[in-house]
Structure 1
């Protein structure tokens, strides 16, 4: 039996002058294309800091919404970096761009996941913005509400002490339904709302050793998901169902 050859680890990725220049070119080009198919309305982008590191937590319901979530950050002059699945960084073409723009690969289920959080911490400490989806993947909720989250965003926030801003969006799924095909016409309306910085001390007392229990990390994660859901309720004009969808059971759990 032939053993499957282990993949070589990705090199440590750091922002570079050439990468940032390419990022700005691609970002402005993406804005032009984005506006051809979607009409965004952004609320609260003035809340995002300038020249200070911070973290964004957001809902994730379609493959195109990273552009939507990054949009208000990019408009403030900050280049947002995403935590994304490592497999995307190995894809031809896309992988090169992600590596060049210094986004952050996450290898789940390995010690490299800790290295990813350390890289994200360095970005924040250097004054950058890191966007992370606490759900870890597209929501499986049938009505596209945020589902149960993972603890990575909580770990990063508590380790850095950086401000955390919730961002919710609604409408880009009309252009690209989850796992569906783009619908180019008519032009889709997209609403984006940036919330106030979250007060983590209201949930858990920060500690210098950054050692938190699973319960504490879960409480912070729920705080993130609740904050994003509150913004999304406002955008959708309706209340979210009770409980949060658990993809493992296929049910909402309170």
Structure 2
């Protein structure tokens, strides 16, 4: 399924050289601090494992509002997607909670790098949605979002049902949605605990990461084709759920080949991940 660009005009075909120049120009429009952090992230990921990236984001979808919707499998999977985006010359932004934005050091970095704030539990949900849509319009760098809203606790680590928040953002902004499927990041660090409360918690997480460096897991990331939401509307009942379903199916379709030799449960065992008894509705 291929999304229709907002502009009905046929995109102009570019030479590979022109395409690369355009991608580099858009990448350099990101704040310098963020470009430096992207390089640091790439070094950390290369230290952790072997990064394999397939698929891409079409040139005609760059330089405009764009959502990157990924499955959520571990504590460092955002860093893996960052490295994959860097390889594709995409200086992505994060959709982060208000609590992170209010933190002394991290909050300053998030604001300086123009990441997107999303306050959970706001009384006026429409106001929160408007803020995200406005941020997409102001800065046309892609935004990474997790439709599931948390690391998957599905028994086989397949995507959970997901929430409609990302779908509502896409329908309200008319921003194309690129599904990102990833596998292997769950081996880079254990699930651990919901909140890190003391040094003992940090030691558990750090120890699992050091063990991963010795194992060198394969960190796979796939950029899928844009999800077609052109027939859906932000003001029609049921369309947000339909959009959510299409996004989650697209993510799962890209995930299945990445874990073809692990179709049921992950080979890597993580006793700290407390799974639920709910099986994913998207399992192949």
TM-score computed with the length of structure 1 as normaliser: 0.79
Deviation per CA, 1:79-127: give whole Å up to 9, x if none.
2111122222233432332222222222222146544433432343342
Match of 1:161?
174
User: 3-state DSSP class of the match of 1:176?
Assistant: coil
Displacement, 1:25? Answer: 0.9
Answering whether residue 213 of structure 2 is matched by residue 200 of structure 1, we say no
* Contact preservation (8 Å) 1:45, 1:73: no
Match of 1:28?
39
Match of 1:62 among 70, 74, 83: 74
Displacement, 1:149? Answer: 0.7
Which aligned pairs between 1:93-172 and structure 2 lie closer than 5 A? 93-111=105-123, 113-125=125-137, 126-172=139-185
Q: Identify if the C-alpha distance between structure 1 residues 117 and 172 changes in structure 2 by more than 3 Å, giving closer, same or farther.
A: same
Distance in 2, matches of 1:75 and 1:230, equals 22
Distance in 2, matches of 1:240 and 1:148, equals 17
Q: Identify if the C-alpha distance between structure 1 residues 191 and 147 changes in structure 2 by more than 3 Å, giving closer, same or farther.
A: same
Deviation per CA, 1:191-210: give whole Å up to 9, x if none.
11110011113xxx344xx3
Deviation per CA, 1:173-221: give whole Å up to 9, x if none.
11112225323212221111110011113xxx344xx3132x2211211
> Which has a greater percent of strand?
1
Distance in 1, matches of 2:144 and 2:128, equals 13
Match of 1:251?
278
* Contact preservation (8 Å) 2:183, 2:220: yes
Distance in 2, matches of 1:173 and 1:253, equals 17
Distance in 1, matches of 2:278 and 2:36, equals 43
Match of 1:41?
52
Match of 1:73 among 85, 98, 111: 85
> Structure 1: which 5+ runs fail to align?
1-16, 242-246
Match of 1:3?
none
Distance in 2, matches of 1:135 and 1:100, equals 27
Which aligned pairs between 1:162-241 and structure 2 lie closer than 5 A? 162-179=175-192, 180=205, 181-182=208-209, 183=211, 184-201=213-230, 205-207=231-233, 210-213=234-237, 215-237=238-260, 239=263
TM-score computed with the length of structure 2 as normaliser: 0.71
Aligned pairs, number: 226
* Contact preservation (8 Å) 1:38, 1:172: no
* Contact preservation (8 Å) 2:155, 2:278: no
User: 3-state DSSP class of the match of 2:214?
Assistant: coil
Give the root-mean-square deviation of aligned CA atoms.
Answer: 2.6
